[in-house]
C-alpha cells in the first residue's frame, strides 16, 4: 500500500498506459481519479476498476482542466499525485520530395493537434495543480515522455517535439517547484503493447520487438510500475529525472 489514500489524477486514463497506471495505483491504495475526452470508455474503465471517479476532460482547454482540478479539491481537499499521461499521434514526414518536387508535407493541423494535447496539455494540468500542491506543502508530478524524445524518430516531427519538450519542462519544474516539496519526473516508454499497437499487423509488431535487446515489447503494466516507483516515497530523493522503460532499445538502430 505504497500510495495509501494518495489522491491521484491521471489524464488519458481510459485506455493503455493510463488505464494500467490507474489500476496499479489503486492496487497500492491510491484514490484514483481519471480524466479523458473519451467519455464512454473512461466511465467504463472507472466502473471496471472501481476507481474513485471519472471526468470528461480536454487537457487542451485550460478552463476545462481548472474545473476538473477545482472539483477534485472540493471533494477530497488535496491532490497528491498528477500523472500527465494524455497523448495523441499524427505521424508523418516533414516533407516528401519526389523527382525534385514537393509531393507531401506534414499538415499544419497535425502539428497543432499533437503539440496541443501532448505539450500544452501537460502545461495546463501542471499549472492548474501546482498551486494546490504548494499550499499543501508537497506533491508529485509525473510526465509522459518517450524514448523518441531522447533519440528522435523518423516521421514523427510533431510527436518527438512534444516528448522532448516534456523532458525540458520536467527539468524546469523540478527546479522551480522543488522548494515547495514537489517532485517532478518523467517516464520515457519504449515500444509498448497498448491497444493501439496491438491492432497493428503481426509482422509490424514482430519487427518492432526485434529491435529491442530484451526481445519483446513492454506491457502497459511495465510503465505503470515505473510511475508507481516515482510516485512513492521510495523515490523521495528523485526529481528532474527521465526514467527510460524501453527494454534497452535505442530508436533508429
Just list the catalytic residues: 159
5-to-57, 78, 142, 198 alpha-carbon distances in Å: 23, 11, 18, 34
Residue with cell 491497444: 195
C-alpha cell belonging to residue 74 = 472540493
Length of the chain in terms of residues written = 253
C-alpha cell belonging to residue 155 = 516521421
Residue 45 near residue 30 (C-beta atoms within 8 A): no
For residues 222 and 245, give the distance between their C-alpha atoms in angstroms, rounded to a whole number.
Answer: 8
In 3D space, the residue among 145, 142, 227 whose CA is nearest the CA of residue 183 turns out to be 142
Amino acid at each position: 500500500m505504497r500510495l495509501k489514500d494518495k489522491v491521484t489524477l491521471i489524464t488519458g486514463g481510459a485506455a493503455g498506459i493510463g488505464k494500467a497506471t490507474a489500476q496499479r495505483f489503486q492496487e497500492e491504495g491510491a484514490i484514483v481519479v481519471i480524466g479523458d475526452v473519451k467519455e464512454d470508455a473512461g466511465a467504463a474503465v472507472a466502473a471496471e476498476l472501481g476507481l474513485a471517479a471519472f471526468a470528461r476532460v480536454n487537457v487542451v482547454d485550460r478552463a476545462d482542466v481548472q474545473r476538473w482540478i477545482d472539483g477534485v479539491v472540493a471533494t477530497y481537499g488535496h491532490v497528491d499525485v498528477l500523472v500527465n499521461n494524455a497523448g495523441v499521434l499524427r505521424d508523418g514526414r516533414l516533407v516528401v520530395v519526389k523527382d525534385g518536387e514537393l509531393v507531401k508535407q506534414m499538415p499544419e493541423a497535425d502539428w497543432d493537434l499533437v503539440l496541443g494535447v501532448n505539450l500544452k496539455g501537460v502545461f495546463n494540468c501542471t499549472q492548474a495543480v501546482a498551486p494546490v500542491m504548494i499550499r499543501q506543502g508537497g506533491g508529485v508530478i509525473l510526465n509522459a515522455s518517450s524514448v523518441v524524445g531522447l533519440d528522435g524518430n523518423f516521421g514523427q516531427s510533431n510527436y518527438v517535439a512534444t516528448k522532448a519538450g516534456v523532458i525540458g519542462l520536467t527539468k524546469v519544474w523540478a527546479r522551480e517547484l522543488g522548494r515547495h516539496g514537489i517532485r517532478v519526473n518523467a517516464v520515457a516508454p519504449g515500444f509498448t503493447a497498448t491497444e493501439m499497437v496491438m491492432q497493428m499487423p503481426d509482422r509490424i509488431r514482430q519487427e518492432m520487438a526485434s529491435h529491442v535487446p530484451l526481445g519483446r515489447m513492454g506491457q502497459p503494466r511495465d510503465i505503470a510500475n515505473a510511475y508507481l516507483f516515482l510516485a512513492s516515497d521510495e523515490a523521495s530523493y528523485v526529481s528532474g529525472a527521465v526514467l527510460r522503460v524501453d527494454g534497452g532499445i535505442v530508436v533508429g538502430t
